[in-house]
């Protein structure tokens, strides 16, 4: 092997773990809210462990672009490069979804939610068990208070990074949203 090639390999070996360490360091910051073991410190904060990588990336990108805004996350995303966001999305998607210990919705609530889910064909995109894939988020067993708040924000357009979801949610009342959040959280 020519020495210069050897030097490049040696340099790569040095750079790659350094970058991985960098991501692990950034992820430590995320853990202060999204949870060290994947359970967020607060019910209003979403689970990101085990979430689909494509979706995680798109949300970070949208926070950075300003297409989705949140006082904390908009700030967080400004310091991240595209590579950071892709690496963080990969990193968190590979973690197991945590057990939040949320209780299943009662029968009447579940039935109301299922009627809505069938009429709106949620599973066309969110798939079986609401696990999503790629750019479509997993919403089953997501934190209840976060789900309710984000469904409302999507409906009002305050969270306006997906027009389709906004148009869809306009058809539903506060009680419908409450039923959906309780049902999804308990899946």
Residues of the shown chain interacting with ligand HEC in the complex, contacts defined by CB under 6 A: 26, 29-30, 32-34, 44-46, 48, 56, 58-60, 70, 72-73, 76, 88, 116-117, 120-122, 124-126, 135-137, 139, 142, 147, 149-151, 161-162, 164-165, 168, 180
How far apart, in whole angstroms, are the C-alpha atoms of residue 113 and residue 132? 18
CB of 9 to ligand HEC, least distance (A): 31
Q: Which is nearer to ligand HEC, 38 or 137 (CB)?
A: 137
Q: How far is the CB of 41 from ligand HEC (least distance, A)?
A: 8
Nearer to ligand HEC, 58 or 178 (CB): 58
Find out whether 98 and 38 touch, Cβ atoms under 8 Å. yes
9/86 with CB nearer ligand HEC: 86
Phi, psi of 44 (to 5 degrees): -90, -5
Which of 10, 22 has the CB closer to ligand HEC? 22
With 0-12 / 13-18 / 19 or more C-beta atoms within 10 angstroms meaning exposed / middle / buried, residue 101 is exposed
Q: Closest separation between CB of residue 15 and ligand HEC, Å? A: 21
Q: How far is the CB of 10 from ligand HEC (least distance, A)?
A: 31
CB of 101 vs ligand HEC, minimal distance in Å: 19
**At its nearest, how many Å lie between ligand HEC and the CB of residue 18?**
18
Nearer to ligand HEC, 6 or 118 (CB): 118
Rounded CA-CA distance 112/89 in Å is 34
Count of CB atoms situated within 10 Å of the CB of 86? 18
What's the rounded Cα separation, in Å, for the pair 86 and 56? 8
């Amino acid at each position: 092997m020519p020495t210069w090639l050897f030097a490049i390999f040696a340099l790569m070996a040095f750079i790659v773990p350094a970058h991985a360490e960098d991501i692990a360091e950034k992820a430590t910051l995320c853990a202060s809210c999204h949870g060290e073991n994947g359970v967020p410190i607060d019910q209003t904060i979403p689970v990101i462990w085990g979430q689909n990588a494509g979706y995680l990336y798109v949300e970070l990108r949208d926070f950075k672009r300003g297409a989705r805004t949140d006082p904390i996350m908009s700030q967080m995303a400004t310091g991240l490069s595209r590579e950071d966001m892709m690496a963080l999305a990969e990193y968190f998607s590979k973690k197991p979804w945590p057990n939040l210990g949320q209780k299943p919705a009662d029968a009447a609530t579940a039935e109301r939610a299922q009627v809505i889910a069938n009429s709106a064909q949620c599973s066309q995109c969110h798939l079986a068990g609401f696990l999503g894939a790629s750019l479509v988020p997993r919403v089953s067993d997501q934190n209840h208070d976060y789900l309710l708040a984000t469904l409302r924000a999507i409906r009002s357009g305050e969270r306006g990074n997906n027009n389709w979801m906004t148009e869809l949610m306009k058809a539903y009342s506060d009680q419908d949203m409450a039923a959906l959040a309780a049902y999804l959280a308990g899946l």
